[in-house]
Structure 1
Amino acid sequence: MTMKAILFASAAALTTANGAFAADAIVAAEPEPMEYVRVCDAFGTGYFYIPGTETCLKIGGYIRFQTDFGRNESGSSDWNTFTRAQLEFQAKNDTEFGTLTSLVALRTNARNSSGSSDNKTFLDQGYIEIAGLRVGMQYSWWDDDLSGETDAIASNETRHNAIRYQYETDAFKAGIAVEELEDSYNTKPGEGPNNVGITGQVSGTVGAVTGYLLGGYDTDTEEGAVRAIIYADLGPGQLGIYGAYATGANYYYEESEWTVGAQYELKVNEKFAITPGVQYFSNIALSSTGNGFGGGDAWTGGVTVDYKITDGLRSKVSVQYHDEDDGDDEVFGFVRLQRDF
């Protein structure tokens, strides 16, 4: 082989080797696909898919600043201010049994800057719901009251660990609940927590009228209460009429033996509403030696003003006057500013 042939053969071999090494060096891994958050519109506005799942999540809540006023509102002071923050997580997804819903609502009330028991974060609500069945910490139907602030149609705590079932159509609802009444209350001497209550409610809508009928039975006191509320769209607003009756003092209602009241929510425009109201109570004082009622009558009248300042920011002012037999008259209420998100 001549020197010229040897040089050409060596150059070809080096070129082939370098080409092989270069091909290996430039091989790069494919980039991982990125999954962006997707909007979920199956359950209303504000929901998005949790990445990698078919579960839709909604995050919301509010910040509230409120000043209450009235007789001895805080010790000997006639006014008291607090700030509340609430954060809510609601998750939904479709199943073979219908929509599976869960709610976690965390609340903090701050009345001062110290570490007192008033300044704590707690589970306001936490429940699982599917096919009309709801279990967990939840608000009772007794918590559902009118838009104004004059009415007093529930007693004691309205939030319980409970099991409830509700059947719903567009115009009719019916449900029953078993509730653990753990908070102490003052009815019969010696009564305490660890009680059980049973409530049931039916409601329906016919045209411009909606009605609610609610009953509750306190198994510890062996007393019960019933309550009815009727709403009717009338003119530029909505009329609300309500009443309640108790067989004796019980956890659900112990303000009086019976009561009736009414309010009218005047919707001035999309932002502004004025709601005057009045309520009458019969036989208000609880017996100090038994479970019956044994006192005079009372009435409350006042007005509530709601104003939407802008999207997500609203205010409410309530001024009420209360007068009862053998008692001092009282003016009370609150001023509230709330940012919803």
Structure 2
Amino acid sequence: MYIKIRLLGLTALIAASVVRAAGAEREPAEYIKICDVLGSGYFYIPNTETCLRIGGYVRYDIGLGDVRSYDSARTSDVRTGEDQGTWRNNTRFTFKTWSGQQTELGALTTYTETHVNFGNSANSRDSPQNYGFNSGLALASAWVELGGLRVGKDGSAFDTFVSYAGNVLDSMLVRSAGFDTNVAQYY
């Protein structure tokens, strides 16, 4: 008797599965709509016509030898304070966002780039023994562009025109200023 009840239950379950499979196809849910207008990697922000792309990278640099100084500077570990000779390291996490949409005045696009750095490679020659530090959060770029007019924080047109001086100049011998600046320029 007990086996008959189990077989009857199994038969009912299989029949219900077959009936459900024979039913109408359900409409697939679109959780993320792809935006092809601005290029690959963009998706629509829900309930808007704005396209968004999110990206970034993690970088880890290791260096041995001099610390780009002629005064025998040395690096020290940030956490323990131990002298590490000329061993240096740096970790960078970069977070980038791009967004855009079409308006009657042209394409409205935005861009942000944020860096988080941590390591024992100090970039200040005034620190004693070149102690390292955590430079924390830095906003590298943030701009809005409408119809070719860009306003915000970005690399200077004078620096980008010459490819940031390339590998020709050594910033230890000939110091260059920071490349980012507030801009209002037409592209």
The TM-score normalised by the length of structure 2 is 0.60
Instruction: After superposition, give the CA deviation of every residue in 1:31-75 in whole Å (9 maximum; x if it has no partner).
Output: xxx652100011110000001000000001111111244533483
Which residue pairs with 1:121 in the alignment?
Answer: 137
What letter corresponds to residue 168 of structure 2 in structure 1?
D
1:65 and 2:73 aligned:
no
| 2:115 and 2:138 in contact (8 A); partners too | yes
Distance 1:65 1:97, change over 3 A: same
Larger Rg: 1
Tell whether the 8 Å contact from 2:108 to 2:146 is kept in structure 1 after alignment.
yes
Q: Give the 5 Å matches for 1:15-94.
A: 36-73=31-68, 75-76=73-74, 77-94=85-102
- Contact 2:118/2:133 (8 A) holds in 1: no
Cα separation, 2, equivalents of 1:43 and 1:63: 25
Alignment size in residue pairs: 131
Q: Which residue does the alignment assign to 2:147?
A: 131
* RMSD of aligned Cα (Å): 2.9
Partner AA of 1:162 in structure 2? V
Letter in 1 for 2:137: T
Task: Supply the distance in 1 between the matched residues of 2:50 and 2:145 (Cα, whole angstroms).
Answer: 14
Please say if residues 45 and 52 of structure 2, whose CA atoms lie closer than 8 Å, have aligned partners that are also in contact: yes
Following superposition, the deviation at residue 85 of structure 1 comes to 0.4
1:140 aligns with 2:156: yes
Retained in 2: the 8 A contact 1:59–1:89?
A: yes
CA distance in 2, matches of 1:61, 1:101: 18
- Hey, what does 1:105 align to over in structure 2? 113
Considering fraction of residues, name the structure with more helix: 2
Q: Equivalents in 1 of 2:160, 2:176: separation in Å?
A: 9
- Alpha-carbon distance, 1:104 to partner: 1.7
- Which secondary structure does the structure 2 equivalent of 1:39 belong to? coil
Q: Cα gap change, 1:53/1:132 in structure 2, threshold over 3 Å: closer, same or farther?
A: same
Q: Which has the larger strand fraction?
A: 1
Q: CA deviation at 1:164?
A: 1.3
The AA in structure 2 aligned to 1:128 is: V
Q: 1:56 to 1:156 in 2, by over 3 A?
A: same
Higher relative contact order, structure no. (Cα contacts within 8 Å, ≥ 6 residues apart):
2
User: What whole-Å deviation, never above 9, does each CA across 1:297-328 have from its counterpart, x for those lacking one?
Assistant: xxxxxxxxxxxxxxxxxxxxxxxxxxxxxxxx
Q: Could you say if the C-alpha distance between residues 144 and 82 of structure 1 is closer, same or farther in structure 2, counting changes exceeding 3 Å?
A: farther
Please name the residue that 1:155 is paired with: 176
**CA distance in structure 2 between the partners assigned to 1:110 and 1:165 by the alignment:** 35
Point out where structure 1 has 5 or more consecutive residues left out of the alignment: 1-33, 167-341
- Superposed displacement of residue 146, structure 1: 5.5
Taking the TM superposition and a 5 Å limit, the aligned residue runs for 1:281-296 are none
Distance in 2 between residues matched to 1:52 and 1:131, nearest whole Å: 24
Give aligned-pair identity as a percent. 34
SS of alignment partner, residue 71 of structure 1:
coil
Following the alignment from structure 2 to structure 1, what is the Cα–Cα distance between the partners of residues 134 and 113?
Answer: 18
**Counterparts in 2 of 1:137 and 1:69: CA distance versus 1, 3 Å:** farther
